[in-house]
Structure 1
């Protein structure tokens, strides 16, 4: 049993979570379910979301609503906003994508797609929901949003942008008593890191990032972890 089991940290809270069908997103959904959250889970594939819904209901979530959406489509973001109807207490911007390759080999179209997914979409969704939010925003960034990584120029740029957006939102939303936290995982076991040179058996587990995503709710209203960095503890 993990430390977060049955603490009820999110009882009575409505959580909107993007990229919820696998990896870090699914782990956060399940951790929040254990803590009593009502969930709106978003991904492109309903079939995978059905599995997450079933798991979260078994773990204790009183209600799980599936929202099938493509974060690359502005119309879908508007539909998400309309579907939750101002009922969101916690927004978790987790959906993202990764590519690798030197800037000398990159495709402008792929670069635009990656920046849209990792930066523009969470910005747009946050802008749509921020006026009605009354809880917390969690942005899943990456250590690539803190320092340069060879052959990851576009990915780094997108995550650095998300870092800047998140930290500025923290300042902007203080007066609304809305907390904002950016989480910066290093290599984490998921489909996004399948081709990474770092060995998967030494990677951070998605459940570790889910524990980080619970930290803001363990603290008093007088504290907010604006940045949480989770690094690999075992050398490759």
Structure 2
């Protein structure tokens, strides 16, 4: 196999050369029999000016690597090892998407802490069932509201009225949906997914954020994103889009909230065993039970972690791969998708 390295007007770009050598080292680990054509080093002499600029770029890369390496280490450490000291103990917790899956598990987890719960979802009957169990587990009071979060006006009106009556200490924007969606699938539900996952979450979080800011007593908001926000797969392209948007939104909101003592965290679950993930056709080994991640989420929120990720091996993999330089990222992503496509049933779109 012939490898052309950064050729530009018969010159070699040194920064591209360095990155490609790193990439090709990884490539050889997968394909050890691959051969490389010898590079004509004398051509580098024709590019002195370019090499000087490239050397500066390498210095910048090195400095960025040190800074980003520390950031990566700190983020992984805080995401995977929640502190034992509890900093935040909410008394009133509101959860969207609380009738099933992660939202239901989080409701049970906080019910055990004897808090007041506000549970929001579309299905009234399921909400009543979850509400009864929360009371059995010890919740002081449970209020339910049947609201479709994609209808943002209804959600905004509810939270404006509710926060006028009494404050909410913790709001968890959990409601979301995932279906197999690509531009090749007719009726791919892109608008529905965006309205539910992004606009619904932002409508609720923004309204509660403003209420917390007005009362000047602080509070806490958690936005449920996903490891797919770091690095997704093409079969759920619009879901990936929404989770990446929420990841960015929550990070910025955390910075905005510091002046008002409003703590914001982003939750990045991996594959969780819920009704929503049944359609993904992934081996059960990769899934985690909702009750397990609910406990992890509560402890992470009590410790005010910026990012809460679980299962840890899925979170670390997605985070690290998304942090690679562009060329390595593209290569690693292609190899990962090769494996993904090999284990997933193939489909043909008309």
Report the TM-score, using the length of structure 2 for normalisation.
0.60
Q: Residue in 1 aligned with 2:185?
A: 105
Alignment of 1:110-189 (within 5 A): 110-133=189-212, 134-189=218-273
Alignment of 1:1-236 (within 5 A): 13-86=91-164, 87-105=167-185, 107=187, 110-133=189-212, 134-200=218-284, 202-219=286-303, 224-231=304-311
- 2:152/2:199 contact within 8 Å kept: no
Which whole-Å CA distance do the structure 1 matches of 2:293 and 2:186 have between them?
A: 30
Whose Rg is larger? Answer: 2
Which whole-Å CA distance do the structure 2 matches of 1:145 and 1:12 have between them?
A: 27
How far off is 1:210 after superposition? 0.7
Q: Which runs of 5+ in 2 are unaligned?
A: 1-85, 213-217, 315-342, 344-350
Q: Which runs of 5+ in 1 are unaligned?
A: 1-7
Residue 9 to residue 35, structure 1, CA distance change in 2 (3 Å): farther
| Deviation string, structure 1 residues 123-159 (Cα, Å, up to 9, x no partner) | 1111111122232111111111111312121111010
Regions of 4+ moved over 3 Å: 8-12
Q: What is the DSSP-based 3-state SS (H/G/I as helix, E as strand, rest coil) of the residue aligned with 2:305?
A: coil
Larger proportion of helix: 2
Which whole-Å CA distance do the structure 2 matches of 1:172 and 1:117 have between them?
A: 24
- 2:160/2:207 contact within 8 Å kept: no
Which whole-Å CA distance do the structure 1 matches of 2:161 and 2:102 have between them?
A: 23
How far off is 1:107 after superposition? 3.6
Q: Residue in 2 aligned with 1:5?
A: none
**How many aligned positions are there?**
223
How far off is 1:102 after superposition? 2.8
Which whole-Å CA distance do the structure 2 matches of 1:106 and 1:148 have between them?
A: 21
Q: Residue in 2 aligned with 1:4?
A: none
How far off is 1:212 after superposition? 2.4
